[in-house]
Structure 1
């Protein structure tokens, strides 16, 4: 990534899906950039394509057309294995579905991705557990947790790698307002500490207002708000 280049660059991205009723075009030429140390809220109605865009940026799916690059490294037009390696090295993702490993404890679930990426930091790990209110739950398994507790573990796992780009899909959807605010504090603290980029899809205009910029998906394209 050269001086002045964005941490995340999305250019002309299109994505359609085949359905029994015919092809549905979800993204129709999305352009987006995000600088290091910047936070951006992605707003839009349910079904507007917010999750689709996050999945494409995170390399979980392939765009039909267009280009996505993270720190100058192309995420598009790469084999699945190469996209996965780039994702592990540079991206933290908070999914709507928690995707916790049932056989691992809270502590090990949080450390899982960081250990795979060889980015485990014991002090940061302990700080996350404390700030997410999971100190008394370290030895529990996902099935022993409430939905809100599982969400906090999933958020801790994404933050534990100290990603260059943090993607979050409705990260506070299963949390009460106070806990949701604490989670936002953590994410924005990571941005301030490390200069990572933060892209969050949310329905909450209140939470969106805490981020540096806001855009909305409408009719398959991004519009400023």
Structure 2
């Protein structure tokens, strides 16, 4: 299992009030499996994704990501996991404006010490970015930038891909195309995919989906 969560809780304080966002979350994700995480706005979806990414720590419970116990890991260990084993796809793209597209695609892989020119070239071809490699992010459309963000996340061949509303800023047609590319590339690399989405239509395209409500996960069958 790439991801094992058991009894995970997370509470935030707002003034004098304690708000429990996650209340005993249990979750597993295997290599090669895709899982959609749905729920109302503010239900804690992004909080759970941040815990899995090591951007925050659970209050209680067990959370193991690719063999790393996130509740006990140091900041350096969490950073190493994000660098070496996890690919992150953000809604806001987070491309580096001073780097051209080729350098943006290679950035994560170079940090991880696993840059592979042949794989980078294959990704650019699959993602339809071959003619855009010498351009800069500001010269690309939103859909093109999101494809770069997906390519960057997969360039280091991560074992786990975390995507937070990866098509949230795109129109439906572009979003569907980006989603198809993401699922195709994850399948090719054998990575696990955990995707936060508010769209039941997109969630139904993944292997499994779970719904977060009142801090707890509910299993949902995929039609």
The two structures have a TM-score, normalised by structure 2, of 0.91
- Determine if the alignment matches structure 1 residue 57 to structure 2 residue 57: no
Stretches of structure 1 that go unaligned for 5 or more consecutive residues are 1-5
> How far did 1:26 drift?
0.8
Distance 1:20 1:146, change over 3 A: farther
In structure 1, the residue matched to 2:186 is: 191
Distance 2:202 2:214 in 1: 23
Q: Is the 8 A contact 2:143 2:175 kept in 1?
A: no
In structure 2, the residue matched to 1:69 is: 64
Q: Is the 8 A contact 1:59 1:76 kept in 2?
A: no
Distance 2:13 2:147 in 1: 34
Stretches of structure 2 that go unaligned for 5 or more consecutive residues are none
> How far did 1:135 drift?
2.6
Across the two proteins, how many residue pairs are aligned to each other? Answer: 220
Distance 1:191 1:101 in 2: 23
- Determine if the alignment matches structure 1 residue 23 to structure 2 residue 18: yes
In structure 2, the residue matched to 1:44 is: 39
Partner deviation per Cα, 1:153-211 (whole Å, 9 max, x = no partner): 21111111111011100111122333323322232223332322111111111111111
> How far did 1:146 drift?
3.4
Pick one of 89, 99, 120 that aligns with 2:94.
99
SS at match of 1:82: helix
Between 1:128-137 and 1:198-207, the stretch displaced more is 128-137
Q: Superposed, which structure 2 residues align to 1:165-204 within 5 Å?
A: 165-204=160-199
The two structures have a TM-score, normalised by structure 1, of 0.90
Pick one of 192, 216, 219 that aligns with 1:221.
216
> How far did 1:21 drift?
5.7
In structure 2, the residue matched to 1:163 is: 158
In structure 2, the residue matched to 1:113 is: 108
Q: Is the 8 A contact 2:146 2:178 kept in 1?
A: no
